[in-house]
Structure 1
């Protein structure tokens, strides 16, 4: 018996994890993506190879479409794209949207809600945050980090008024062992995760280290506390009530880095090493911009944002040098 019908917009690491676990829980899930090498590999091998902590690699069949070839009418559309890709996905998928569908997302950073509001009514938007680690090894190959049932997530309605569909989604996420918590604090729920990512994602990316290496560093507490205090000061000025205290946020950082996911490289790091733009402007940059609105200069967040962009610039120069060297070698041969 099919419980709910989902369209997973974005079949990257997190899209695959949410979609496959919802599929295994008995739901009808169609994945929609635009990365052609990924699409080609999945179709060639008849599904996605799924591992858990680098072990038990097995092929999982999935239904995959592009925005142009999908014509379904799902109960809920789940968005898991990069922030800078969302506008393009929405434009290409608009032809199958209608006013009965719900939009749900646990994307990193901030900026996506305003884009979803251009296509969906406020009472049809549910958003959340995920403390769940997943790695896309390459086209058609994903690794779920942590034991089955590891990780947790928060979710909230934009209207902060949960309805029947919200509770149905919550139940299916619970069956899929995503460990959801339903809150009625929309902005505070999202911002709490943004602040978490502003420490872990950014610092691990800059130094190209796993989360455990950061967590075990003697001065990790001081580094994290400086960033968290800036962000919490800003949220207090903006009237945003976060879902955890400063000390609770520090405890979450400690547990996630040293105990739950010490071997994980954050998604920003994965983007950096693959020469893709990072989402730092939607994380540390967003915090800095919010601070300016309330006459608070988040100097540490702004400094880290610029450092990440410098690192992106360096990686781009290295990529161009490699390509030039490879081209010259080919011509010489």
Structure 2
């Protein structure tokens, strides 16, 4: 099968490289000039696992305007705020037969993808796996091979033959895919997870394990999970997990699967890049307001992240003695 990864960042590289190693033809399309030129200069992307065994994996990478490929499946892993521009610049390669797979963080991408792809050909989900982009053309896969999991669903909630073929290739690449027939519940499970771990770890600049080691971590998690589930229930969304199961997922990933990992929101914040908090906690706030429910804790955290962004980026005035 032929895949093209749109967004050669941490997760884009992970999915693309492992799908390529599983025997598929894979191309990468990216807009970050330093990344594209570094990969071309060194002949591929440097890949390590848990900071060890770094090696060069040959890959093909293109800018959107120069790409002429026509894959069976697009794999989309851009940042939410970059997606519309990415799609516009690559649209000359889209056709009505193609499928699109995405496991992006947050919410907001589905509507943009449906502007270019038919509903029956949109497969979206969530990936519980940690990856770090050290720099241009340099990625680190966190966790043992096959340790991560993912949930995915066809937008129509009626998986067809091609959807099952995609799942088979993901299984070969050891992503441990779980195909569901609950589209919104599948996506919101990761939004709720990220609204706890990503946001709190970012604000306090700590790893997931450090968060989990705090004696009051469960209380913090429960408050955010309960508020998020209250929103989803009012919106008529059937969640994949119970509230208790969602808490257990937060605890397992934080203490067992990826305790040393800094979430992607922290990685953005630490590099003074805009975070996706508006598409995670902020999304839950806006969804709640549609149903006359104020998700006050999520609103507060959204403001705190923006305050942290503001103070990091604001010029520091000299202090007179």
| TM-score interval for Structure 1 and Structure 2 normalised by the shorter chain | over 0.9
Tell me how many residue pairs correspond in the alignment. 318
For residue 132 of structure 1, the aligned residue among 129, 133, 136 is: 129
Residue correspondence of structure 1 range 16-55 to structure 2 within 5 A: 16-55=13-52
Q: Are 1:87 and 2:84 counterparts?
A: yes
3-state DSSP of counterpart to 2:186? helix
Q: Distance in 1 between matches of 2:286 and 2:293?
A: 9
Structure 1: which 5+ runs fail to align? 325-333
The answer for the alignment partner of 2:72 in structure 1 is 75
Residue correspondence of structure 1 range 176-325 to structure 2 within 5 A: 176-317=173-314, 320-321=315-316
3-state DSSP of counterpart to 2:64? coil
Deviations 1:230-272 (A, max 9, x none): 0001111111000000000000011100111000000000000
Q: Distance in 2 between matches of 1:90 and 1:316?
A: 28
Structure 2: which 5+ runs fail to align? none
Deviations 1:79-104 (A, max 9, x none): 00000000000000000100000111
C-alpha deviation, 1:315, in angstroms: 1.1
The answer for the alignment partner of 1:154 in structure 2 is 151
Deviations 1:133-169 (A, max 9, x none): 0000001100000001111000100000000110000
The answer for the alignment partner of 1:331 in structure 2 is none
Q: TM-score, normalised by structure 1?
A: 0.94
Deviations 1:297-329 (A, max 9, x none): 100000000000000001112xx459x9xxxxx
Q: Are 1:121 and 2:118 counterparts?
A: yes
Q: Distance in 1 between matches of 2:312 and 2:176?
A: 37
3-state DSSP of counterpart to 2:178? strand
Q: Distance in 2 between matches of 1:111 and 1:270?
A: 21
Q: Distance in 1 between matches of 2:58 and 2:254?
A: 32
C-alpha deviation, 1:40, in angstroms: 1.1
- Aligned residues: CA RMSD: 1.0
Q: Distance in 1 between matches of 2:9 and 2:265?
A: 13
3-state DSSP of counterpart to 2:65? coil
3-state DSSP of counterpart to 1:290? helix
Q: Distance in 2 between matches of 1:145 and 1:284?
A: 25
Deviations 1:196-254 (A, max 9, x none): 00000000000000000001110000000000000001111111000000000000011
Q: TM-score, normalised by structure 2?
A: 0.98
